[in-house]
Amino acid sequence: MRVHLVAPRDGWVLDKIASSFEFPGGTRARTPDPKADINFYINYALLKRPSGSLDVGLFTHKHPGPAAETWDTCAAMSHHCVAMCRKSADELPADKTSICLLPPFGRFLGRSLKLGFVGREYKSSPRKRFEWINTIADIPGVTCDWANGGTPDHDLPEFYRSLDYLVITAEREGGPMPLVEALAMGTPVIAPDVGFAWDYPVIRYEGLPELKRIVRNLVFPFDAWERTSERLGMLFETLLERKANA
């Protein structure tokens, strides 16, 4: 399978996105290649007419006004639409649209994600759910630190500042106070609907499976673009198989 990227060479974000994809044997130009198996347009507006190959557009966001017609026309011409986000997908034909969340560019990849947990464990009550820490710590690229009651108060500000995110796991709370302490130190918080948590600007979750999904989405390994390219490559292979069997 040969993927041909149709993309600009202007140094801006679409150029950087195209340069970050890694398709084995892939080619690239500002115009489509009718001999390629897949023409992947970054972005969709470069699809002016059918190429004769499978045409797939990367759909960023829909502009209001007259530009919306270009979006709709390109979506109709595309054999498949790759949406950059859920909101863009909602503006595209559901039967031929996939969502592809893109990672940051290379210089931002590869650092470990440090999560923090604060509070004492009550043996008489499992409401804090600190047993979740081991489950979260097993996610590749994640390290966890727990201030479990033995950390002096004067050390807590630096503890919060050392974290990428504070995670609240409790199922019942009046506060929790660590949430507002972390926010005061500029540390974002991931929290369920407990106490006053959702009255503050936090990343919300419901249950351990969703928490794990959120954490995985916050880890960006060195090979994040390679993995993204592999997932799209699998999609392209499926599209070619459907075409062959049609």
pLDDT digits over 156-200, tens only?
Answer: 999 999 999 999 998 888 889 999 999 999 999 999 999 999 999
3-state secondary structure of 114: strand
Mean pLDDT across 66-83: 96
Q: Is the pLDDT of residue 124 over 70?
A: no
List the domain boundaries for the chain: 3-105+223-245, 112-217
- What integer pLDDT is reported at residue 123 of this predicted model? 63
Angle at 173 between CA 172 and CA 176, to 5 degrees: 140
Q: What is the pTM of this model?
A: 0.86
Cα–Cα separations (whole angstroms), residue 140 to 27, 33, 102, 228: 32, 39, 19, 17
Cα–Cα separations (whole angstroms), residue 132 to 6, 104, 159: 45, 28, 20
More confident residue, 147 or 44: 44
108: closest CA among 243, 214, 16? Answer: 16
| CATH architecture observed for domain 112-217 | 3-Layer(aba) Sandwich (3.40)
**How many CB atoms within 10 Å of residue 92?**
24
